[in-house]
Amino acid sequence: MKTLNIGLIGFGTIGSGVVKVLEEKKNELQQKTNCEFRIRAIADKDISSPRCVRVSKDVLTKDVHKILDDPEIDVVIELIGGIHPAKEFVINALKNRKDVITANKALLAEEGEELFRIAAESEKEILFEASVCGGIPIIKTLRQNLFADKIESLSGIVNGTSNYVLSKMEENDWEFEEALAQAKREGIAEADASLDTQGLDSRHKIVILARLIFNANIKLEDIFYQGIENIKLEDLRYAREFGYTIKLLAIAKSFKEGTGGVYVYPALISEKHLLSKVRGAFNALSLKGDVVGELFFYGKGAGMLPTASAVVADLGEIVRSPGYQATRLPVKKAKLKIKKIDELEKSYYIRFLAVDQPGVLAAIAKILGEQGVSIGSVVQKERKEKEIVPIVMMTHYAKEKSVQKALAEIDKLPIVKEKLAIRIEE
Ligand code: HSE
């Protein structure tokens, strides 16, 4: 029987989960692979706090070089997150001829090009199933199972915290702040929750997926992102009246030959679409391949065991297909032309807060009309003379550029106090 010697860097929640799975499933994993997965060393700054698993003291170290410089270690699992020193550890491991498994989406999104180049030069692998949507096996699916397919579109709820916040707003009639406070209390949000709610975490994840989908080295900076912080409870209520819900989506889309679009934004989606049924901190991905057709994935995108499942799956990959190179992100320069957000055409939900007086609607409609934006329906429910009331419009298909231009003009009207446009995803 073979032995795979593992060095684990980061003994937090996910790290403990990996050790737990390797221990509890020892025999099963051995039978499946004819290999013993042996944890030779675990490095962490804190080696004294109790974990959900017990490990021998001899295995624990505060010195990461006991892992990086140990010639007996075959694989380094990096689970500390963040860019530095994770990047240096990964480079060091690759140069010392160890395969690397990581759950670090930020690291791959921001430094992937350099890391995958070093992996190729070192003839070693970086495996990263756990980096996107935790337990949902989307990386291997895109890389291997959908080998025959061109992915025409992928829309995903890839940030559990934002989805939890939007779900709680809807279910409990809460405003954003209240729902976010609850997400923090439940330990769902990142330490810096703005990464979740501003769409940055989703952007890290979709750039990794998009690089696989388009087989191109898409730059993080080329991806438009927008978060959910401006969405109010009333937006969710109006959306529901029109037969929609609001979700933070990460989108990768193929347009005509050689052009692709990668975006993160909140969108109105029909209540009939499966993605609208995804509640709480769950993740989901809806994709369409030109050969396979439509696929839908649903599951836990974070947490100890779902993420550990993905990390251990990568260990299995290393043992089953050494040198397979199936998991590398492309390092070649993108041939893909990225369609910018202002080149899109969509329908829009637009909410204004405006003074309730004659001529307001006409003034708003005039500016939209001048920009060629056609209004499908208008709702103004409240009647509070000379006070601020919400006015909601649903537009027909319109150019993003025209909508943004119109909104900038409308913003100058003293009678308009607030505006919010949300794209409608068909
Ligand atoms: N903050 C992330 C989320 C955790 O809410 O989905 C997993 O990357």
> Alpha-carbon distance 212 to 112, whole Å?
12
pLDDT of residue 326: 47
237 neighbors 193 (Cβ within 8 angstroms): no
Residue to substitute in 182, 197, 201 for testing ligand 1 pocket (most ligand atoms within 8 angstroms of CB): 201
Per-residue confidence (pLDDT) for residue 382, from 0 to 100: 76
- The reply to whether 205 belongs to the active site is yes
- Enumerate residues 6+ apart whose C-beta is below 8 A from 414: none
Residues 6+ apart with CB under 8 A from 133: 156, 158, 205, 283, 285, 297, 299, 301
Distance (Å) of CA 368 to CA 120, 400, 410: 52, 12, 8
pLDDT digits (tens, 9 = 90+) for 88-133: 999 999 999 999 999 999 999 999 999 999 999 999 999 999 999 9
Name residue 379's amino acid: V
The answer, yes or no, to whether any atom of ligand 1 lies below 6 A from the CB of 248, is no
Map residue 396 onto helix, strand or coil: coil
pLDDT score for 329: 53
Which residues lie below 8 Å from residue 19, measured CB to CB, with a gap of 6+? 8, 11, 39, 42, 51, 53, 55
Q: Active-site residue among 205, 247, 346, 419?
A: 205
DSSP secondary structure code for residue 141 in this structure: I
Identify the pLDDT of residue 322.
64
Q: 333: pLDDT confidence band, cut at 50, 70 and 90? A: low
Please check whether residue 259 is in contact with residue 337, taking contact to mean a CB–CB distance below 8 angstroms: yes
- Confidence check: pLDDT of 71 > 50: yes
Which atom, in ligand 1's list, is nearest to the CA of 283?
6
- 269 pLDDT exceeds 90? yes
pLDDT at residue 132, as a whole number: 98
| CB of 190 shorter than 6 A to ligand 1 | yes
Domains, the chain: 2-134 (3.40.50.720), 138-301 (3.30.360.10), 342-425 (3.30.70.260)
Centre of ligand 1 to C-alpha 169, Å, is 18
Give yes or no for residue 302 CB within 6 A of ligand 1: yes
pLDDT value, residue 320: 87
The mean pLDDT value for 227-231 works out to: 98
Of the residues 161, 202, 228, which should be mutated to test ligand 1's pocket, given the most ligand atoms within 8 Å of the CB?
161
DSSP string, 65-91: HHHHT-TT--EEEE-S-SSTTHHHHHH
Strands 345-355 and 388-395: antiparallel
d(CA 154, CA 107): 22
* Mean per-residue pLDDT, 230-255: 98
* Residues 134-166: b if buried by 16+ CB within 10 A, e if exposed: bbbbbbbbbeeebeebebbbbbbbbbbbbbbbb
Nearest CA to ligand 1 atom 8: 302
CA–CA distances in Å: residue 320 to residues 33, 35, 57, 202: 7, 9, 30, 31
pLDDT one-digit tens code per residue, 214-226: 999 899 999 999 9
Dihedral-angle region of residue 353 (phi above 0 means left; psi in -120 to 50 means alpha; beta otherwise)? beta
Whose Cα sits closest to atom 2 in ligand 1? 159
User: How far does residue 135's CA lie from ligand 1's centre (Å)?
Assistant: 12
Q: Is pTM beyond 0.85 here?
A: yes
In this prediction, residue 222 carries a pLDDT of 95
Whether residue 285 is predicted with pLDDT greater than 90 in this model: the reply is yes
Query: Confidence band (pLDDT; 50, 70, 90) for 324?
Result: low
